[in-house]
Amino acid sequence: MKTENLLSPYRALDLCNETGALCGKILADLGADVIKIERPGGDSSRRLGPFYKDIPDPEKSLLWFAYNTSKRGITLNIETKQGQEIFKELVKSADFVLETFPPGYMSRFGLDYEELSRINPRIIMTSITPFGQTGPYKDFKPSDLVALATGGFMYISGDPDRAPLRFSVDQSYTQGGAQAAAATMIAFHYRQMSGQGQHVDVSIQECFVTVSFQVQSHWDLLGIKQRREGVRTPRGKIKPRNIFECQDGYVSWRIFVADQGIKTIALVDLMKEWGEIEPEVENVNFARIDMSDITQDQLERWEEGFAKFFAKHTKAELRREAVKRDIMLFPVSTTKDLLNDEQLQARDFWVNVEHPELSAYITYPGAPFKSTLAPWRISRRAPLIGEHNTEMYEEELGLTKEEVRLLKEQGVI
């Protein structure tokens, strides 16, 4: 018997480029039949890197691989009349339409929510755009950088004496895709209850306004403009450092005092045990010190003592002792550290996905959650361009080989 997955009975038509691809992946890895609809020649995100073995090729984009797993793929030009007819035919049996076109694009081709809901009142249409479907910025040109800036994230990220920063790995697309998936499921629950679909309008700017809540809240409640603080985090009058250099990178740790001073003492004890105690911290009883009694100078003197110790040890060594002794210290993990992480290995986090045309198995991040029934799984690698055209057009829609050939000639598929 076929194992039923959490979302097996449902189908999504996924028209998203890189800015929303994760939304469809989330549904697909839970078992939904997600059909990626690309324009003939392939989706624009296939041209974005990084690439498999650094070979730029639309079938080798790792960005494409990462966020299109478990989907089937067809090509279809919805800008043509025939393309629109075929799309509408597909909408009849679909539960979700996911799209990332500029506001107004779908309605230009008679494919907006009002039109699609006439064909299938149960359809849920999710639109993911840089600023949402309406408003004075709706037609603004997008970029990951623009989303993180206007979403308030950058102003609180980076060093205070330099420009605000973004992540060096795009995050607006993943936030957009995942928040859209959550919203889509909320609309879906209502659909299951009422029989009615609806339009879900997601703004990527607002995805980051959500993430940067504290920026809004400090201003609203206190009139404070929260700023970026670099490697330090303000706590009352002082700013403890929370990133330290170690032998092979960085660790995240800070001085705890008072009730939690015992965690700092555990580190002091380790330094003593290893014969590496530093004079700055040797005779300090961190459990008897109150945060409000510390000056920044004093704090930084202690931090220098700990910094000297960290510099002599590796992330792995420090973490091992931290877990053993309940010192609250974490590595500043790189992607490579994550791949070697014991906790992730113990939980079988990583999965190997076969790419037959590359004669390779590739290691992917695994389940975002584990469930006791119908677990998450990657059922197939991301589709090749038009990989399921025959399956979809001939087997499911019943077109003849000749009709498909004609559609290809006319640039429809």
Partner 1 sequence: MTEKGQALCDIKFLDFGMSITGPIVGKYFSDHGAIVVKVESKERIDISRTYVPMAGNIPGINRCGWFDQYNTGKYSIGLNLNRPGGIELAKTLVAWADVVSDNFTAGMMEKWGLGYQDLVKIKPNIVMISMGLFGQTGPLARQSGFGTMMQAAAGFTYPIGWPDRPPTGTSCPYTDFIGIWYAIVAILSALDYRSRTGKGQYIDLSQHESGITFLSPAILDCTINDRIVPSMGNRSSYAAPHGAYRCAGDDRWCVIAVSNDEEWQAFCQVLGNPEWTEDVKFATHLGRKKNEDELDKMIEGWTSRKPAEEVMLKLQEAGVPAGVVETGEDFHKDPQLTHRNRFVRLDHPEMGVHVYEDSSWRLSKTPAEIRRSPLFAEHNEYVYKKILGLSDEELAGLLVSGVLE
Q: Is the dihedral of CA 144, 87, 123, 388 positive or negative?
A: negative
233/295 with CB nearer partner 1 = 233
Tell me how far apart the alpha carbons of residues 181 and 367 are, in angstroms, rounded to a whole number.
15
Rounded to the nearest whole angstrom, what is the least distance from the CB of residue 230 to partner 1 in the complex?
5
- Whole-angstrom CA distances from 301 to 55, 278, 282, 306, 339 are 50, 11, 12, 9, 35
Tell me how far apart the alpha carbons of residues 184 and 94 are, in angstroms, rounded to a whole number.
14
221/279 with CB nearer partner 1 = 221
Rounded to the nearest whole angstrom, what is the least distance from the CB of residue 393 to partner 1 in the complex?
30
Rounded to the nearest whole angstrom, what is the least distance from the CB of residue 236 to partner 1 in the complex?
9
- DSSP code at position 391: I
Rounded to the nearest whole angstrom, what is the least distance from the CB of residue 146 to partner 1 in the complex?
4
Rounded to the nearest whole angstrom, what is the least distance from the CB of residue 170 to partner 1 in the complex?
8
Provide the β-strand partners of residue 352.
Answer: 363
Rounded to the nearest whole angstrom, what is the least distance from the CB of residue 29 to partner 1 in the complex?
10
CA 318 to chain centre: 29
39/381 with CB nearer partner 1 = 381
347/401 with CB nearer partner 1 = 347
| Residue 293, token pair as written in the block | 């009694």
> Any residues with CB less than 8 A from the CB of 312 and at least 6 apart, and which?
247, 276
38/144 with CB nearer partner 1 = 144
| Residue 150, token pair as written in the block | 């206007």
147/392 with CB nearer partner 1 = 147
63/399 with CB nearer partner 1 = 63
Provide the β-strand partners of residue 221.
Answer: none
Rounded to the nearest whole angstrom, what is the least distance from the CB of residue 359 to partner 1 in the complex?
13
Q: Is 339 left (phi over 0), alpha (psi -120 to 50) or beta?
A: alpha
Rounded to the nearest whole angstrom, what is the least distance from the CB of residue 297 to partner 1 in the complex?
21
> Any residues with CB less than 8 A from the CB of 256 and at least 6 apart, and which?
262, 263, 264, 286, 328
For helices 21-29 and 172-194, angle between their N-to-C axes, nearest 10 degrees: 50
325/408 with CB nearer partner 1 = 325
